[in-house]
Amino acid sequence: MIDKEFLMIPGPTPLPSRVIAAMTHPMINHRGPLFKKIFTETREILKKLINPDGDIFLIPSSGTGAMELAVQNFTNRGDKVIVVDTGFFGDRFYKMNLSFGRNAVKLKISYGRAVKPEEVVNFIKEQKDAKALFITHNETSTAVANPLKEIVDAVRRVSDMFIIVDAVSSMGILKIDMKEWKIDVVVGASQKGLMSPPGIGIVGVSKRALDFALGKDDSYYFGIKNLKAKGDIGQPFTTFPVSTLFGLREALNILLEEGFEKTYERHRIYKKLVRESLKEIGLKFVANDEDSSPCVTAVFSPEGINGEEIVRVSREKYNVEIASIQGDLKGKAFRIGHMGYINSNDLLVTVASVESTLYSLGYKFDLGSGVKKFINLRLNSGV
């Protein structure tokens, strides 16, 4: 097949051509006026997107860097912190807290389901002196979306601890309203729902969390104090990934033009299209319909077929890049990303590739019934 990759992994995601074009801008001085304009516009659009009452910081880092910033700035060494672990990225928040000497206690949820608000509340009641709650909004490793608003609402009835959200794979896809919902910190990254290349970490901060961080002095590269001093004059603290910023600003313009609510709705439909089509050929999912994510779908491999093999054949034979899965489920499942600059045609191609791949690998079913289901479901779905 002529090489033309369909990138259907849970980030990085395909880039709109407008984003690619924006990144071809000649290099500019990251301390000059044009950079300041782009940097400021980008932060302003992100404020509209997640609505913090404090500030938005952009950092030259991956999403993990933004997570680490949150650990360093919004908790203190020795603090008890609660980490909800619904998968690989929840566990990462936990380990990171331990690395920085936080007294992290973990609420471990069996992988493949979302945490329930009452589970969080009960755990908080057990861990009375905890200073912060770390929670993953969308857990890409198991393709589960935690019901963030419901969780935060429930927590706020019993605690005013800092709530720190890993929204790396949900930002732009699942609604977040920091001020309205009373969330203190949200961390994200450029390469998922925001349809840009990797390289920029994003941190939204509430006013009270900002005050807390400004009173601390035990961070440097990720230090809010350093970032804010420069941020207030429209500059980055250190040298910034300039081309990526040109891309991110353009991607955010595209999201603004579409309208955030429409983007959220579109992804909810994607989830349904993918799941219902693959159910048609007898596949089972790691997460149930309710808990499952609008950003990514984790599918169990049929018995006797290795998930890594499915990923390889889909790539080599049908030019569709889907993702394997780590940890306990390694080899037993695979993942389809459907976030960002994706439309239903991309999903159709992916469902077709999964069907063809499984058929090639010996799974017995009525080949083509998945894509047939797909186009029937899509007909008037608006996507």
For a copy of itself, the closer CB: 326 or 376: 376
Give the Cα separation of 65 and 301 in Å (integer): 32
Name the minimum Å distance from CB 171 to a copy of itself.
17
Name the minimum Å distance from CB 357 to a copy of itself.
10
Residue 185 pairs with which residues in a beta bridge? 164, 205
For a copy of itself, the closer CB: 6 or 240: 6
For a copy of itself, the closer CB: 191 or 353: 353
Give the Cα separation of 152 and 126 in Å (integer): 17
Name the minimum Å distance from CB 192 to a copy of itself.
15
For a copy of itself, the closer CB: 21 or 229: 21
For a copy of itself, the closer CB: 32 or 382: 382
Nearest to 301 by CA among 273, 330, 327, 338: 330
Which amino acid is present at 30? H
Name the minimum Å distance from CB 26 to a copy of itself.
10
Give the Cα separation of 376 and 172 in Å (integer): 28
Look up residue 36 and give its two tokens: 């300041």
* Residue 248: partners with Cβ closer than 8 Å, 6 or more residues away: 19, 42, 190, 194, 196, 200
Residues that bind a copy of itself (CB under 8 A): 1-4, 6, 16, 20, 24, 258, 266, 318-320, 341-346, 348-349, 352-353, 355-356, 359-360, 367-369, 371-376, 378-380, 382-383
Nearest to 296 by CA among 254, 347, 252: 347
Give the Cα separation of 264 and 31 in Å (integer): 35
Vertex 320: Cα angle to 316 and 323 (nearest 5): 95
Name the minimum Å distance from CB 345 to a copy of itself.
4
Name the minimum Å distance from CB 349 to a copy of itself.
4
Give the Cα separation of 61 and 240 in Å (integer): 9
Residue with tokens 């018995």: 303
Name the minimum Å distance from CB 21 to a copy of itself.
9
Name the minimum Å distance from CB 200 to a copy of itself.
22
For a copy of itself, the closer CB: 297 or 344: 344
For a copy of itself, the closer CB: 75 or 350: 350
For a copy of itself, the closer CB: 60 or 340: 340
Backbone angle region of 74, left / alpha / beta, with phi > 0 → left and psi within -120 to 50 → alpha: alpha
Name the minimum Å distance from CB 74 to a copy of itself.
35
Backbone angles phi, psi at 43, to 5 degrees: -65, -35
Residue with tokens 């996507």: 383
For a copy of itself, the closer CB: 20 or 158: 20
Name the minimum Å distance from CB 138 to a copy of itself.
19
Positions of E strands within the chain:
6-7, 55-60, 80-85, 103-108, 132-136, 138-139, 144-145, 162-166, 185-189, 200-205, 296-300, 320-321, 333-337
Vertex 245: Cα angle to 202 and 66 (nearest 5): 20
For a copy of itself, the closer CB: 93 or 341: 341
Helix axes 260-280, 369-378, angle to 10 degrees: 150
